[in-house]
Every structure is written in structure tokens, then in C-alpha cells.
Amino acid sequence: MHDGNFVCDGLVSADTTPSAGTTAWANAVAPVLAAWAGEAGSLGTVRVRNRFHTRATAALTLAWQVTVEVSTADGLALAVKDPGAAAHVGTDGAAAPAGLTLLGAAASGECPLPELAAGEETLLDVPELADAVARARAAGRAVHVLTAVLDPLIPGVADVGPRQVDPVDGAPLLPQVACTDAAGRRVISTREATLPAPSAPAGTGRPTTPGRCEPPVRVRGGIELGPARLDNCGRLLELGGLDVVGPLTTVWRAPTDNDEGHGAIDYWQVPPSRTNLGAGGGRPGPSAADRWRQARLHLAAERHVSTVVEDDAVVVRSRVSAAEQAWALETTTTLTAVAGGLRLRTQIIPTGDLPAVLPRLGVRLGLPADLIHATWAGTGPAPAYADLAGAVRHGVFTGDVSALWQQPVRPQEGGTRPGLRRLQLDGDAGRLTVVIPSTAPVAFSLSPWSLENLTAADHVEELCPDTHLWLHLDALHHGIGTRSCGPDVRPEAAAAPRPVVVEAWLGVQPA
């Protein structure tokens, strides 16, 4: 009768915070756009379009940022060689997390927009932007060019979530779309263009490894592997003095409202592909979550198969399945002590009669709950999914772990960010660093609640913080779609089952 939980979980949350979907929609329909058009002319060329009905662009400002892709090799070298680097102090007086300087580089600037009448469009040449792009390209890495339009007349909302920061001094950069910057200007729109890195020899996307630790040693009650302690099955118990659980193979997510939707258009009759545009059955049918539960993905259990010590590595094989089901996830995890930390490589091979799409496919690690602050290089600042990435950008971001998950009144998936390259988690016990090679991109999320608690809870008051902070590293993650009131996730954004690999280097710096 009252549209279920959408009376308080809709375009904004119950506390009036805009959702990631609302922010992406606002950016898509923004009245004034500025997009980098350097391929068509000068590296400083920006295409400006006024989509206002009557208002001109007088008083509006063009802001730009040029970000150099983080170097995985440099990020690992920093974690190994300079674990105690002092924090920088940003222009706002806040301390920047130590070790940001090798998480890429950023340049920014702004200039007034030319006055365009409603409906007009022009090309604007910005020499300072051209210089910044040229300098960034000389680094030999991928370069991200962000252009934004700022409005001093109509105020925005406060930017209370994670912020993009300058990796050199920790100073805050451009806030999220619809938010207000330090000068009181609202961010009307952003557009990002990426210049790929020059071709590099095979293998250069992996972190360099300054050296290997001692080989694994079987001891009473488990295995010692460099800074890590494993149980007899090869599962992590401790890393550098921090309690760590996992890695655990993960295929389930707490269903979203759209996962539970029964809209008439879905893409389940044929496995998702770019050629299957999907007309569905033309009538309401089983939801994605119904089909996932029918396959008992929510009841998946991981069974240990074998643990073998091979030279300098520990190789763990396991099998994930559910009772009375003809599907399985064959998992092989290789752990190696490298560069003062632990390299993790997990290969997951889906077999059997799985659903046409999966909620996710990856691993999760249980970390100490007192890791309360996050800094990452990748995409942000808001959560994003394959079909919900209209307002994200590349860069370095920082914020409290509690602010990374957009939790509506009905608990569900809501904190995934793709394209992770490096993550630092800080707390009283020290710092945990995660470095991801560019050859095996992952999405990440940090949840203070277990998957089981998120799935079972009907209301936020039923959520109980877990004894662990759960770090998810997903090689596949399903899109969001609109099936609570429209079509399902488009095929190109669906997580069709396929073999995947999750790779990461994990290191700990004691407090």
C-alpha cells in the first residue's frame, strides 16, 4: 500500500542523504556539462554545453583535475621501504595519511566559463589544463582528466562522506556532485576521460618484490609463513600481529531492493551477453534473489580439500557448494611470504548448474574491528557498480570506515567500489595495507556486519556490529538494475559465472 520501505529508502535515505544512485542520476541529467575533448585538438580543449531552458552560464566556473594512475609497484615499494613515513598536513590543517605520495599524482585548476545562452555549445581552450595533461602523460601511466562545473548561485548539500584528496599533501579536492565546495559553490556536474598508459612489457602490472621471506614452516597447531600464522588447513589466523580470518570464497550478497524486484523485463532466459537485449517474459516473474535462493547460494559452505606446502608457498584447495545442489566453486589459494608481507592469489572456477548470473564472486577477509579509517587509490568517493558509476572518478580518497557503506533502512548491499589499486586501513593496532596488481582488478567493500547479519536483518536496528571488519575483494559483482520498478540489470553489467582470479599483497605496520 505504501510502497514498502521506499517510503524512507528512495532517492535519499531516511536521514536525507542522497543515495549513490541519486548522485549518478543528478550527474547524468545535469543542466551544464563540461567534457574534456583533447583527442579532437589541443590537450586543453573542453567541450561546454548549456542544457538550461532559459539560464545562461554567466558566473559558472570550470574546474579541472588531472590524476596520474597509481603505480602498483611504487605503492608496494613504499609499504616495504617506508612503513613509518610521517603524515603530511593538508591546507585545511588535517593530517594526511602517511604514504600517500606514491599513490599517483594530481594537478587541478579552474577558470570562468564563457557566457553561453540556453542550448548553446562551444569548445574552450584551457592552456593550463593542456600543460597538466602533457606533464601527466610523461609519467608513462594512465591519466584521468576530470572536468566539473561549479555554480555559486544555488547552494548544494554538505559533503559528509569520503573525500578525494591530493596524494601529495592530503588537501581535499573537488567534492561529490551536488555538494558544496569550500568556496560555497555547488558541483553541478563532472565528466571524466581516461588516457590509457602506453603499452608496457608483459608482467609489469604486477608489484615488484624486493625479496622473499623464509619458506613456510609447519609448527604445532599450524603453519608459519613469514609474518603470517596459518591454521593446519592453511587459513589465516594472524598477520603481523593482527588477527585476520580468511580468505573465504564469497558468492552471496545481501539482496538489494532491485534484487528482490519482480519486474516484467529480465535477462534470465538466455545467459547474459551483449547481443541478448532481453525482452523478458513480459510479465512479473521470479526475482534475482528468488533464483539465487533457489540455487541455495545463501547457504553456500566452503569445504577444505587439501593443504600442501610447496617450496616457498602454501597452496590451499577448497570446494564451495550447497546441500543437494549440482554446482560448485573450485577454489585454489596460494599464499607466499613476499616483501615483508603476504601475497594472496585465489583462483575460483565455477562448475555445474549455477544461475545465469551471480551476486558476486571473490573472497572476504575478517580484519580487526578497530581499523576505523580508510584511504584508498581507485574510484570514489561514492559506491559504484557496473551500471551505477555515473558520478565516480579515479583518484585517492579517504574517510572513516563507518561512512563507506550507504546503509538504507532495510539492510542490503551498498558499499562496493570498483577499480581498487591500493588500500590503507588504520586503527589503534596499526595499519593494514592491501596492494592490487593492475592485471587482476577487483572491487572492494568494507562492512562492519557479516553477510549473514546483513541478509537476515529487516531493519537497521537489527544489525549487530561483528567482531570483525569484513573486507570483500570481488572479481565479479552484479549490477544494481531497476527491477523493483523496471527492467533488470542489463546484460553488460551482469555477473555471469566465469573463472576468476583475485590477487593481493597484504602488509601490516604495527602502531
pLDDT digits (tens, 9 = 90+) for 398-435: 999 999 988 878 888 889 999 999 999 999 888 999 99
Rounded Cα distance between 15 and 3, Å, is 18
Residue 179 has pLDDT above 90, yes or no: yes
Give residue 274's pLDDT.
60
CB 157 within 8 A of CB 180: yes
Residue 251 has pLDDT above 90, yes or no: yes
Question: pLDDT exceeding 70 applies to what percent of the chain?
Answer: 85
Give residue 353's pLDDT.
93
At 175, the pLDDT band (50, 70, 90 cuts) reads: very high
pLDDT digits (tens, 9 = 90+) for 75-117: 444 444 443 333 333 333 333 344 444 456 778 999 999 999 9
Rounded Cα distance between 187 and 155, Å, is 9
Least confident window among 179-188, 209-218, 369-378, 438-447: 209-218
Torsion of CA 258, 262, 266, 270, to 10 degrees: 110
Q: What is the mean pLDDT of residues 186-215?
A: 71
Give residue 99's pLDDT.
41
Give residue 279's pLDDT.
53
The angle subtended at Cα 19 by Cα 18 and Cα 22, nearest 5°, is 80
Q: Which three cell numbers stand for residue 511?
A: 602502531
Rounded Cα distance between 102 and 251, Å, is 33
Rounded Cα distance between 138 and 504, Å, is 28
At 378, the pLDDT band (50, 70, 90 cuts) reads: very high
Q: How far is the first Cα of the chain from the last one, in angstroms, to the nearest whole number? A: 54
Give residue 208's pLDDT.
47
Give residue 460's pLDDT.
85
The helix (H) or strand (E) run that includes residue 338 is strand 327-338
Rounded Cα distance between 372 and 382, Å, is 18
Q: Which three cell numbers stand for residue 245?
A: 580470518
Rounded Cα distance between 63 and 31, Å, is 16
Question: pLDDT exceeding 90 applies to what percent of the chain?
Answer: 58
pLDDT digits (tens, 9 = 90+) for 331-367: 999 999 987 889 999 999 999 999 989 999 999 999 9
CB 348 within 8 A of CB 247: no
The helix (H) or strand (E) run that includes residue 81 is helix 72-81
The residues that bridge with 218 in the sheet, in sequence order, are: 223
pLDDT digits (tens, 9 = 90+) for 14-43: 777 888 888 999 999 999 999 999 876 789
Provide the strand spans (E) within 381-427.
Answer: 393-400, 417-420, 422-427
Q: Which three cell numbers stand for residue 419?
A: 577499480
Q: What is the mean pLDDT of residues 147-155?
A: 94
Place of cell 533457489: 294
Max intra-chain CA distance, the chain: 77
At 439, the pLDDT band (50, 70, 90 cuts) reads: confident
Average pLDDT, the chain: 85
Instruction: Record the pTM.
Output: 0.89
pLDDT greater at residue 378 or residue 215: 378
Helices (H), 218-261: none
Give residue 7's pLDDT.
65
Residues near 22 by beta carbon (within 8 Å), at least 6 away in sequence:
11, 12
At 292, the pLDDT band (50, 70, 90 cuts) reads: very high
